[in-house]
Structure 1
Amino acid sequence: MDRVSPDAESDAGPESATIAQVAETVEDLARVIARQAQTLDRLVESDRSRAKQAAAGADLPLLVDLFALYTDATLCAESADDADSAAFAAIAAGLDRVISGRNGVLVVPSPGATFDARTMEAVDVVDTGDVAEDRTVARLLRPGLQVGDRSIRAAAVIVRRHQHLT
């Protein structure tokens, strides 16, 4: 049987223990640094998201005013004579581009489009005998405005509902 001298054990023991403690400390520090990196990533993403929402919120009053002008120009284009109608239509198209450029979306459902309660308001309901036309737009009365996922003004529409006509 080989025996290790007590002096050899005492010399190797403290060095091994010190190396093990250093290795454990390094592992702990690596975990802490990884958690801090994840926290920093979350904070940066949160700040970016907040800045994006703030920018959209800052444009909201402007978008509402531009939308009112767009609505007026569209109505003028529909009711004006041929010479003036083209001018009002051009103004409405320009306002449409500005609204779109500021992350606004005009809600202009065409007849036959499926009714969406999130972006449309049913002002009136008309009966239809066709099952395929149930809950579809019959006519657009006023366009709507959406910014991001938020509906600022719902589009006013007339909706078809299926009724057994006798």
Structure 2
Amino acid sequence: MTSPEGSAPERHDVLGRLGEQVSDLALVVARQTRTIERLVDAAKSPAAAAVGDTALLVDLFALHTDAATCAVSASEADRPAFELLRDGLERLIVGRGGVVVAPLPGADFDARTMEAVDVLSAADTSADRTVAELLRPGLVVGERSVRPAAVVVFRIS
């Protein structure tokens, strides 16, 4: 006969299985905790924030472009205000993880972030495949070029 609680060996087996299950459960919880921590850390990174804010960054960039256009065509009295607005919008874009691409003349042409809208003939070989003029700035969010900068490029003819 066995007691209602079971024999000592049966209780030992039950306790052994229960111990294994608790151990397995502890491993699963530890693994899930590490995964959650990695996801939280990734979500806190500027690149992840930028990707999540792409729509906002595109809208801010459109306002930035409008302010830059107004600064060029504004009167001498109004130009500083539009330039301040443009610069403030650029700080917001950069603060949210975006990059305004505005290469200066002489910079190397980068097909990942720029679009060659026109080509000018260059006699100097050192000018080959460099930016001659910036027509419109571009926007990079994370690793992705959302809007390439429109540039005129020198090419050896």
TM-score (ref. length: structure 1): 0.70
1:2-60 deviations in whole A, cap 9, x for unaligned?
xxxxxxxxxxxxxxxxxxxxxxxxxxx9xxx99x9788646633553356465333311
Tell me the SS of whatever aligns to 1:106: strand
- Counterpart Cα distance in 1 of 2:127 and 2:35: 47
Query: Which structure carries more helix by proportion?
Result: 1
2:79 to 76, 80, 85: 85
2:149 corresponds to 1:144: no
Please, what is the CA RMSD of the aligned residues? 2.4
Mapped partners of 1:44, 1:125: distance in 2 = 50
Show structure 2 runs of 5+ residues with no match: 1-22
**110-119 vs 85-94, which deviates more?**
85-94
Larger radius of gyration: 1
- Quote the residue 1:48 is aligned against: 41
For normalisation by structure 2, the TM-score amounts to: 0.74
User: Equivalents in 2 of 1:89, 1:62: separation in Å?
Assistant: 21
Deviation at 1:111, TM superposition (A): 0.2
Which consecutive unaligned segments of at least 5 residues does structure 1 have? 1-28
Provide the rounded CA distance (Å) in 1 between the counterparts of 2:31 and 2:128: 50
The 5-angstrom pairing of residues 81-120 of structure 1 reads 81-120=75-114
Determine what percentage of the aligned residue pairs are the same residue. Answer: 53
Give the whole-Å Cα distance in 1 for the aligned partners of 2:112 and 2:149. Answer: 10
Matches within 5 A, 1:115-134: 115-134=109-128
Q: Note if contact 2:49-2:96 (Cα within 8 Å) is conserved in structure 1.
A: no
Once residues 54 and 93 of structure 1 are traced to their aligned partners in structure 2, the CA distance between those partners, rounded to angstroms, is 24
Partner SS state of residue 112, structure 1: coil
Q: 2:155 aligns with which of 144, 150, 161?
A: 161
- For residues 72 and 124 of structure 1, the distance between their equivalents in structure 2, rounded to whole angstroms, comes to 22
